[in-house]
Structure 1
Amino acid sequence: MVFTKVPAPLGRGGPSLDTTLMPRAALPGGSLTGQLQLLGGDADCDIDRLTLELVAQVGAAPEAGGPASEAVCARFTLPGSFRLGRREQRSLLFDVRLPWEAPVTELSGAALDVTLDVRAELTATGTRDRSDLVPLRVAPLPVQDSLLAALDRLGFGFRSAGLEHGLIPGTSQRLPLYQVIGLAPAPRYAAVMRELQVTFLANPGGVEVILEADKPGGLFAHGHELLNRHLVSHGDADRRDWDATAEVWVRQMVASHGHHSLPAPSGPGAARRRARPGRQGAEPAPSTTTATGHGPGLVPPADEGAGDPARGVASGKQAPAGESAAAYDGSPAERGAVTAAPGEGAGQA
């Protein structure tokens, strides 16, 4: 729990704001629930607006170096305005929808080196002040979890996770940032790749899986890297043979760049996958789009708000002039719900 005194210019003795989140991990595209607790100051105060921001710490690309920078992934305006009395205590429950592309902060319950926070903002009598940051836990969707678990079983061990600015061409990416999960290559692929990088771009219908690999000394010479894109529906999480899917995707990616003498599939169930038809053995039908580009193959945004609006709920609207598209939260009807907690809202002398 973070208890934050709202600073000047609201003045000494002004209202204070306390933000709490539900302890369970949220999911990309899922609900973010919590509570705002307000305490009135030395005098009555008109609260014009309460806002929540989803804030990520985004690092520069590894080759560029430099410190991380703050990026607002989404902004949620809670409806309603009210007068907060002197010393009045009021609790407001909120329930907003996270962006589908929200980065995950944990895998199998273990925390990643990814910082994602929620920050409350209070606007009173035309002055806007922010609270401290409250850490948010986000767990992977079933498709994300299933693929990463399959890659782990195939020998691709977890190495790193981070956030980077940019847009991946040829995808439906909406946020002006993306998450990269770096995996050490399985031993049988160590000669043809240095690292396998996985990026997930989720949406209401499913997940775009972006696979990227490189190798020192010439697999992707002159700074070229290969991007393979796969589209998976959310319902496939329980229907696919993920070990077979992961094996095929990796082999397709490497073979498409001229390495056709690849090691035979191995690991759990490899012989079964080679021998039996149907779900148990047939290689998944290719669903791959391959693109070759310079460097990381990314198109950097023109500014912090470039690209489609990052909305807490899908609205299909553009941000109005003067407001960052990356933080636009749609029309009032699409904004997060907020209710007073039972028994709260009474002023205290």
Structure 2
Amino acid sequence: MVFKRLLGSLGVGGPTVDTVLDPGPSLPGGPLSGQVQLVGGSADFDIELITLELVARVEAEHEDGESRGTVVFDRFTVGGGFRLSEGEHRSVPFGVTLPWETPVTELHGQGLGVVLGVRTELSVAGAKDKGDLDQLAVRPLPAQEAVLEALGQLGFGFKSADLEYGRIGGTGQQLPFYQEIELTPPGRYAHAVNEIELTFLASPGGLEVVLEADRRGGLFSGGHDTVTRFTVGHDGAEQQDWNALVDGWVQQLVEHRASYDAHASYGHGDPYGHGHGHSQAHGHSDHHHGHEGGHRSGPGMGTAVAAGAAGLAVGVVGGMVAAEVVDEVGDFFEGDDDEEGDEG
């Protein structure tokens, strides 16, 4: 999705900017390349800086409920220091590296409802203007895809995906938000959990997989949430028996095998009281965990869709769900940026 916008701060006659990303989805921690195409205005202009911002539509929970806003999660200077002549056409190529924790927006070409963008900012003659906004598509890393595929093979269904502002305590999280993928359990776990929430935290050294179960309450006990954390490497994904590995993770999560006392000292709350506690040990940890302010749902993805044996991608292609995702993306890229937040 490409837009050409007049630099509003310079008025009529200013240069226009059109950023074109190279085709195909990117990978977390991988390259993002393209061209910033400039067309000169009715006079010569000094282009001081060309900056790319990575932006995300993020949900935030607070005392008054929930709100959505735009968060900038990385910036890159890709050009500048030249004069753009009247009417001149100039293309500035760029190549940058995405953060490892960049959220996944699609699985096997099917959108998950997560909205990311690349916004181009020009600094011209002392004025700055955000002149172009393009949709960013990100596919999962091999280990991320293997985990999602295994969950689909095990009978879990895709419910929703969103970005939550805040931090998960006890992890190596770097960005000011994290991605949650909500899954409906298969029959053999339906008696124990309402849903499972999955978060990936990638880094150059591997992948942290955070699983949270919204547990059902019994006759004499209320429901509570349990969190476990696992780590896997980036290498050797093709040799791993992912179905067995992930099934073992889920069983540990549901059965609550690990002791609360083994990691209670590592329980940390994020800015919304959504505190995840984890041990530092490689493998797993469990934690009783409470949501404050109610349970979150993804943008326009409230209907659970069964995934089946073909994997979770099947769950995001049906009717109303797909249409609502398109509406969410359109609102982000066609609306203004008055809601914008910052990195912190």
Which TM bucket (shorter chain)?
0.7 to 0.9
Q: Distance in 2 between matches of 1:188 and 1:62?
A: 35
Residues 215 and 226, structure 2, Cα contact 8 Å, conserved in 1:
no
Q: For 1:79-109, what per-residue CA distance to the aligned partner results, in whole angstroms no more than 9, with x for missing partners?
A: 4411111111100111100010001110121
Q: For 1:102-148, what per-residue CA distance to the aligned partner results, in whole angstroms no more than 9, with x for missing partners?
A: 01110121111111111100001110000232111100000010011
Q: Distance in 2 between matches of 1:64 and 1:239?
A: 48
Alignment pair present for 1:287 and 2:283:
yes
What SS class does the counterpart of residue 53 from structure 1 fall into?
A: strand
Amino acid at match of 1:241: D
Amino acid at match of 2:109: G
What SS class does the counterpart of residue 188 from structure 2 fall into?
A: helix
Percent identity, aligned pairs only, is 50
Residues 161 and 179, structure 2, Cα contact 8 Å, conserved in 1:
yes
Alignment pair present for 1:326 and 2:343:
yes
Please tell me whether Structure 1 or Structure 2 has the larger radius of gyration of its CA atoms.
1
Following superposition, the deviation at residue 193 of structure 1 comes to: 0.3
How has the CA–CA distance of structure 1 residues 325 and 2 changed in structure 2, closer, same or farther, with 3 Å as cutoff? Answer: closer
Q: For 1:45-92, what per-residue CA distance to the aligned partner results, in whole angstroms no more than 9, with x for missing partners?
A: 111100001111112459975442111111111244111111111001
Aligned counterpart, 1:278: none
Q: How does 1:58-137 map to 2 (within 5 A)?
A: 58-60=58-60, 66-137=66-137
What SS class does the counterpart of residue 10 from structure 2 fall into?
A: coil
Aligned counterpart, 1:196: 196
Amino acid at match of 1:78: V
Q: How does 1:44-63 map to 2 (within 5 A)?
A: 44-60=44-60
- What TM-score, normalized by structure 1, do the two folds share? 0.73
Aligned counterpart, 1:282: none
Residues 7 and 129, structure 2, Cα contact 8 Å, conserved in 1:
yes
Amino acid at match of 1:229: R
How has the CA–CA distance of structure 1 residues 39 and 79 changed in structure 2, closer, same or farther, with 3 Å as cutoff? Answer: closer
Q: How does 1:188-227 map to 2 (within 5 A)?
A: 188-217=188-217, 224-227=224-227
What SS class does the counterpart of residue 9 from structure 2 fall into?
A: coil
Amino acid at match of 2:76: F
**171-180 vs 229-238, which moves further:** 229-238
Residues 223 and 295, structure 1, Cα contact 8 Å, conserved in 2:
no
Following superposition, the deviation at residue 237 of structure 1 comes to: 1.5
Aligned counterpart, 1:239: 239
Residues 49 and 77, structure 1, Cα contact 8 Å, conserved in 2:
yes
Aligned counterpart, 1:35: 35
Q: Distance in 2 between matches of 1:183 and 1:62?
A: 24
Residues 183 and 197, structure 1, Cα contact 8 Å, conserved in 2:
yes
Q: Distance in 2 between matches of 1:72 and 1:13?
A: 29
Residues 6 and 129, structure 1, Cα contact 8 Å, conserved in 2:
no
Q: Distance in 2 between matches of 1:154 and 1:3?
A: 42
How has the CA–CA distance of structure 1 residues 296 and 171 changed in structure 2, closer, same or farther, with 3 Å as cutoff? Answer: farther
What SS class does the counterpart of residue 288 from structure 1 fall into?
A: coil
Following superposition, the deviation at residue 185 of structure 1 comes to: 0.4
What SS class does the counterpart of residue 326 from structure 1 fall into?
A: coil
Following superposition, the deviation at residue 240 of structure 1 comes to: 1.4
| Alignment size in residue pairs | 274
Following superposition, the deviation at residue 290 of structure 1 comes to: 2.8
Q: Distance in 2 between matches of 1:171 and 1:238?
A: 26
Q: Distance in 2 between matches of 1:130 and 1:206?
A: 35
Residues 6 and 130, structure 1, Cα contact 8 Å, conserved in 2:
no
- What TM-score, normalized by structure 2, do the two folds share? 0.74
Instruction: Point out where structure 2 has 5 or more consecutive residues left out of the alignment.
Output: 259-280, 294-340
Q: Distance in 2 between matches of 1:8 and 1:64?
A: 35
How has the CA–CA distance of structure 1 residues 100 and 107 changed in structure 2, closer, same or farther, with 3 Å as cutoff? Answer: same
Residues 18 and 36, structure 2, Cα contact 8 Å, conserved in 1:
yes
Residues 176 and 326, structure 1, Cα contact 8 Å, conserved in 2:
yes
